[in-house]
Amino acid sequence: MVKLTFMGHSCFLIEDSSFKLIIDPFLSGNPVAAMKPADLKVDYILLTHGHGDHIGDAVEIAKRCDASVISNFELSLYLGQKGIKKTIGPHIGGGCKLPFGSVKLTIAHHGSTLGSEVAYGGNPVGFIIRIAGKTIYHSGDTGLFLDMKLIGELDKIDIALLPIGGFYTMDANDAAKAVEFLRPRRVIPMHYNTFDLIKADAQEFAKKAKHHGSDCVILNPGESFTVE
Ligand code: NI
Ligand code: MN
């Protein structure tokens, strides 16, 4: 059993009976954040890329919780310079086994400056996360790409987390095409309605996802879904 809690924007807390993981912990300055960073207790932090709305409070949370941070190699070097002791920095197509299961890095078509610094953080990534016998795909910020077919072919995805907000990433139409490529059992939309620039209609997306055979689970910030 794996529990996912949507924390707002692209941030998800993932829990099994032993471990807590958080992806892209953008909470401070996030108008829809479901929790304060100081209230979090996690074992692992996964970062898709260096933009401020993804790296967020990662440095503070990692230091306070003594959490391991998993990101691409370049971002892991940067985090090391920021004083994070436990960094894990594999790269696209690779990954690693971890006490909760495993993580594999996928491509994502986007950029990655480092927080507010205009320095480059390597290629942005998505994650295939295996935990408690379930497979979760978090695409990170990305445009639609045909290789999503391959991602869906290599892994039976129990739940896909996809951006639908447009402007910086796929919009709901392209995300519906992503569902067709990935064929996940379920999909949760993310990276929308945080700001006016990325407004989207999740119900419209849900209809399109259903057409491609996936159940869409719409979570408001703070709401959870348990993958049985
Ligand atoms: Ni971004
Ligand atoms: Mn973003």
Written as tens digits, the pLDDT of the chain (228 aa) is: 999 999 999 999 999 999 999 999 999 999 999 999 999 999 999 999 999 999 999 999 999 999 999 999 999 999 999 999 999 999 999 999 999 999 999 999 999 998 777 789 999 999 999 999 999 999 999 999 999 999 999 999 999 999 999 999 999 999 999 999 999 999 999 999 999 999 999 999 999 999 999 999 999 999 999 998
DSSP string, the chain: -EEEEEEETTEEEEE-SS-EEEES---TT-TT-SS-GGG---SEEE-S--BHHHHTTHHHHHHHHT-EEE--HHHHHHHHHTT-S-EE---TT-EEEETTEEEEEEE--S--EEBTEEEE----EEEEEEETTEEEEE--S----TTHHHHHHHS--SEEEEE-B-TTS-BHHHHHHHHHHH--SEEEEES-SSSGGG---HHHHHHHHHHTT-EE----TT-EEEE-
Spacing, Cα 141 to ligand 1 middle (Å): 5
Indicate the domain borders of the chain. Answer: 2-219
Please name which ligand lies nearest the alpha carbon of 51.
1
Q: Which CATH number fits domain 2-219: 3.40.50.10710, 3.30.465.10, 3.60.15.10, 3.10.290.10?
A: 3.60.15.10
Spacing, Cα 198 to ligand 1 middle (Å): 12
pTM of the model: 0.97
Spacing, Cα 114 to ligand 1 middle (Å): 10
